Amino acid sequence: MKRIATITAGIAGFLAPIERADAQDAGVAEGTAAAADCEGAGESPISGELTLTATTHYFFRGLIQEDQGLIFQPEIALSAPLWEGDGWLRTLDLTTYTWNSLHSGPTGTGGTGNNSPSAWYESDWAAGLSLGLRCGTTLDLTWVEYTSPNGLFSTASELNLELDFSGTEALGVVAYLAPSLTLAFEVDGQSDQSTAPGGTDEGIFLGIGFAPEFDGGKLGELPITWSVPLNYGFSLDSYYEDAGGSDDTYGYADVGLFASFPLASRFGEWNCSVGTQLVFLNGNQEDLNHGAGVEWTGTLALSIGF
């Protein structure tokens, strides 16, 4: 027993420096993990994006709002996770955003806005839920209030349902087209009544969109992504009506080409996008656009994720 104790003591003495080193390494690892945990704990679960857009024309679902002067459109969107699981509902997020349009043309400082600041043509706010489904589809349910701070149109309230199929596994290669479907129900007020010949009935809008993206190589050291958005707008009920109650089932279509690239920054994720769209208007939408059925638009946008 004494010999065993001696051997044991010898082994313990031999292992002691190793154990101390292991303990030090473990302490360092634990400290690093603790620091990482503390760093993670300090991060907010809320994510968001600030987008600053300048454009030559402002069309809302094919309805002309402004085509003169400077059109500046800032937006802030926030998202907070509420739930995560493994069933048919994978994620549930609370979403909100505010979107604005400031003009120097006839609907802004160059016009007859009743209220100050006269440049502030539109201010929208929204709140809703975003559901990530098991099949890869995302369903957004959003309540939107469209308001005009300078008083050029009446407030409209809308319930929106949007399905994004870009991650849907069952679509296979079709998912690369990034298809989406939008249903908008006007609950109070109308989007088509702000400018004659507008209608008077709450309507239902159907939007079908595609937004495929492609790797565009590099511009110097910057990776470029090309996108070709394609959108169609339809009236399911009184959405594209005129003052006489005549409604256009098919409202508009547009197709665009955009290039986007990241910008180096120590504060959030910065991305710049520049492109153009060709808008095709039908019926009452063409009448609202001074009889012009086709328009080119140009857009420059800067987005900052945080």
Number of domains within the chain: 2
Q: What is the CATH number of the domain that holds 64?
A: 2.40.160.40
> To which H or E segment does residue 143 belong?
strand 138-147
Asked if 103 and 252 sit in the same domain, the reply is yes
Asked if 11 and 143 sit in the same domain, the reply is no
Asked if 184 and 163 sit in the same domain, the reply is yes
For the stretch 126-158, pLDDT in tens is 999 999 999 999 999 999 999 999 999 999 999
Per the CB < 8 A criterion, the answer to whether 256 and 217 are in contact is no
Asked if 126 and 52 sit in the same domain, the reply is yes
| Span 282-292, average pLDDT | 94
Q: Which residues contact 34 (CB under 8 A, 6 or more apart)?
A: none
Asked if 103 and 220 sit in the same domain, the reply is yes
Distance, CA of 235 to CA of 241 (rounded, Å): 9
Distance, CA of 167 to CA of 176 (rounded, Å): 8
Q: Which residues pair with 306 in a beta bridge?
A: none
Distances (CA, A) of 215 to 33, 106, 174, 224, 287: 37, 40, 17, 6, 39
- Higher-pLDDT residue of 64 and 6 is 64
Asked if 121 and 4 sit in the same domain, the reply is no
Asked if 24 and 125 sit in the same domain, the reply is no
Asked if 249 and 212 sit in the same domain, the reply is yes
Q: Is 196 helix (H, G, I), strand (E, B) or coil?
A: coil
Res. 173: pLDDT tops 70: yes
Amino acid 264: pLDDT:
82
Per the CB < 8 A criterion, the answer to whether 144 and 114 are in contact is no
- Looking at residue 110, its amino acid is G
As a whole number, the mean pLDDT across the chain is 86
Q: Is 96 helix (H, G, I), strand (E, B) or coil?
A: strand
Tokens encoding 36: 């990482």
Amino acid 130: pLDDT:
98
Amino acid 17: pLDDT:
42
Asked if 231 and 287 sit in the same domain, the reply is yes
Task: Give percent of the chain above pLDDT 70.
Answer: 83
Weakest-pLDDT range from 44-58, 70-84, 191-205: 191-205
For the stretch 226-272, pLDDT in tens is 999 999 999 999 999 987 888 999 999 999 999 999 998 778 899 99
Asked if 82 and 32 sit in the same domain, the reply is no
pLDDT band at 8 (very low <50, low <70, confident <90, very high): very low
Backbone angles phi, psi at 149, to 5 degrees: -60, -30
> To which H or E segment does residue 38 belong?
helix 2-42
Per the CB < 8 A criterion, the answer to whether 236 and 247 are in contact is no
- Domain that residue 30 falls in: 1-43
Q: Is 139 helix (H, G, I), strand (E, B) or coil?
A: strand
Asked if 122 and 218 sit in the same domain, the reply is yes
Asked if 29 and 59 sit in the same domain, the reply is no
Instruction: Kindly report the number of other CB atoms within 10 A of residue 102's CB atom.
Output: 20
Q: What is the residue-wise DSSP string for 220-244?
A: TTEEEEEE--EEEEEEEESSSB-TT
Please tell me the total number of residues recorded for the chain in this structure.
Answer: 306
